[in-house]
Structure 1
Amino acid sequence: MTCFLIPTVFQAGSLSLIMGCTPNASHSPVFLLRGFSGASVSSSLLFLLFLAVYLMTVVGNMTLVLLISRDPRLHTPMYYLLRGLSVIDMGLSTVILPQLLAHLVSNSPAISASRCLAQFFFFYAFGVTDTLVVSVMAVDRYVAICDPLHYHSVMSRQVCARLLAMSWSVSVVHTMLHVGLLLPLNWAGDAEGNVNLPHFFCDHRPLLRASCSDIHSNELAIFMEGGFLMLGPCTLIVLSYVRIGATIARLPSAAGRRRAVSTCGSHLTMVGFFYGTIIWVYFQPPSQNSQDQDMVAAVMYTAITPLANPLVYSLRNKDVKRALRRLIGCGAVDS
């Protein structure tokens, strides 16, 4: 979840090409989410694929939450933040995928304006919080490797709780701003008052494209506030890992360097996958269809990334694997 507003910033000018509103334009139309209506794959197969992804996402992240909560060996700042990230990932998927599954088995993928804005709000609240928590985890790894003697005092449980609360607060305020800018907009629908959205959920750019109102205020907010909020965490992650890399390079022994790398390997893998997919999707040649790019990117950060998080931390992390073996083998985690 993510630098996914940055591409909107880069293409904000393209959103200005809107039509004037008709006299019967509405603030609260019914939106038809037709993102997969023209897909070459059958709706039944898509339903099974997304259902499997959603179930694996929930089970994987719930397992991480359970292990971190019950195993005293995982009661460290890094795993405290990881548990928060797992909760966020479950929320992000739950906001989008159950609604998509319902629409895949329905002949009319309709959603009211109030439900659409509610989905938009919770999607961005979870998505932006996800991005901020990932950057906080980068700072955690920076302190652990570059200042290990003060790690437990600098990154205490209280500090981590404040950082998580701050991430949520910033995300909610950010999302409320953009919801407030969407509320005055009008949408001109068909004869029945329906507005077609070529997407599978109520995302920002499709909603602005479908509006017939003046969206310059929305564009300005995306460019100024949204761009700063998204670029900030990316910059923090890059700077943290530059310092981490410099510190590791100065370690005298190869064994010490391997241990240092192993402490941040899972997080670095997740960051690379998360931001790599967004960059790969959005920075395609101009000849590519932008709506298709939006769809692929949305699948990545609403379905694939929340699923990848527990897989990365379970397959690459020895502490998590040991905790899982203790839980399965003993029926309870040793205290």
Structure 2
Amino acid sequence: MAEKNLTLVTKFLLMAFIECPEWALPLFLLFLFIYLITLLGSLGMIILICVDLQLHTPMYFLLSHLSFMDICYSFVTVPLMMAVLLENRAALSYTLCAAQFFLFTFFGSIDCYLLALMAYDRYVAVCRPLLYVTIMRRKARLGFVCVCVEGAYAAGVFSALVWKFSAFTLSFCGTNEIDFILCDLPPLLKTTCGDSYTQEVVIIVFSIFVIHACMVVILVSYLLIILAIMRIPTAGGRATTFWTCASQLTAVSLFFGTLIFMYLRDNSGQSSEEDRVVSVFYITVIPMLNPLIYSLRNKEVKETLRKILNRARLS
């Protein structure tokens, strides 16, 4: 056993779903369908925002970047997951595993920052409508939002680098088989040996800071929005605003709930099956839901889509 532990890992074998080979093809088709829906929904949202000047607003500008992140997020995770299903395993070199981990955390952290910015944008729109209209009339109305998005990308790079260097300065040894679907933090920690206390503390503390900071912004924004909704005089206005915000808050809760479950808990002794189900959910389902919840429920998007379809029929 001691000799085995001295063997350093140079590649990782992703072994998820190997115990249920009869489910490989149905799951592959299901994930392929979800992946295509995610691509079509997110790419369609980006195109709609680009072609319609009425959608050139801070909210839709943020939505376009969120849709782009969902495309990238799915691209670095879902195809590999489908390859694991077809082959019952997938071999990744140490470098490729580190690259996937960096990109996965990079796109995921930007999602967190964008969701926080979107929540604050909704707060200004609902609670400070006069200020929001004034800002919208300015020629440089997107300037501040562009700076915020650039900051989100920069923070995403920094976050991914912190997680990547903290995770991949660990010593991986013993077996190189990972009972998981991608190079993610929980399964990687299970393959470590030696003293990893310092790196794990850095990962946990920084994860708490990033996730909780974004959650505070989102929760405070939506709490103030709910209080503002209660002051709307008409029942119809309250219902419309409430259900729009409720659907968005539900999506946010699902996203951050899965992140907390995966990254801010003790992974020792946890069920791989449980981790795998939750991981599949936030890798595949949440990116698919984002275009539906944040975009297609809006009247402006539906009107733009209707105009484009009418033009296509006439032509």
TM-score of the two chains, using structure 2 as the length reference: 0.88
Mapped contact 1:274–1:301 kept (Cα < 8 A)? yes
Partners of 1:266 and 1:107 lie apart in 2 by: 37
TM-aligned CA distance change 1:24 to 1:278, over 3 Å? closer
The answer to which structure has the higher helix fraction is: 2
TM-aligned CA distance change 1:242 to 1:21, over 3 Å? farther
AA at the equivalent of 2:143: Q
1:204 corresponds to:
185
Partners of 2:262 and 2:5 lie apart in 1 by: 38
Mapped contact 1:47–1:104 kept (Cα < 8 A)? yes
Mapped contact 2:49–2:61 kept (Cα < 8 A)? yes
Partners of 2:262 and 2:27 lie apart in 1 by: 20
TM-aligned CA distance change 1:49 to 1:171, over 3 Å? same
1:320 corresponds to:
301
Correspondent of 1:67 among 45, 48, 55: 48
AA at the equivalent of 1:296: V
2:165 corresponds to:
180
Q: Is there any run of 5+ residues in structure 2 with no aligned partner, and where?
A: none
1:229 corresponds to:
210
Correspondent of 2:275 among 282, 294, 314: 294
AA at the equivalent of 2:162: L
Q: Map of 1:140-219 to 2, 5 A cutoff?
A: 140-152=121-133, 156-190=141-175, 195-219=176-200
Q: Number of matched residues?
A: 308
Partners of 2:162 and 2:3 lie apart in 1 by: 23
1:269, distance to aligned residue in structure 2 (A): 4.1
- Percent sequence identity is 36
1:274, distance to aligned residue in structure 2 (A): 3.0
1:16 corresponds to:
none
AA at the equivalent of 2:159: H
TM-aligned CA distance change 1:228 to 1:108, over 3 Å? closer
Task: Give the structure, 1 or 2, with the largest relative contact order (CA under 8 Å, sep 6 or more).
Answer: 1
Establish whether residue 92 from structure 1 lines up as the match of residue 77 from structure 2.
Answer: no
TM-aligned CA distance change 1:238 to 1:32, over 3 Å? same
Correspondent of 2:101 among 117, 120, 128: 120
1:25 corresponds to:
7
AA at the equivalent of 2:154: S
Partners of 1:241 and 1:102 lie apart in 2 by: 40
Partners of 1:186 and 1:51 lie apart in 2 by: 35
1:262, distance to aligned residue in structure 2 (A): 6.0
Partners of 1:206 and 1:300 lie apart in 2 by: 16
What is the Cα-based RMSD across aligned positions, in Å?
2.8
Partners of 1:184 and 1:224 lie apart in 2 by: 17
TM-aligned CA distance change 1:23 to 1:279, over 3 Å? closer
**Poorly superposed stretches of 4+, deviation over 6 Å:** 279-284
Q: Map of 1:257-296 to 2, 5 A cutoff?
A: 257-258=238-239, 260-261=241-242, 264=245, 266-275=247-256, 289-296=270-277
TM-aligned CA distance change 1:71 to 1:58, over 3 Å? same
1:264, distance to aligned residue in structure 2 (A): 3.6
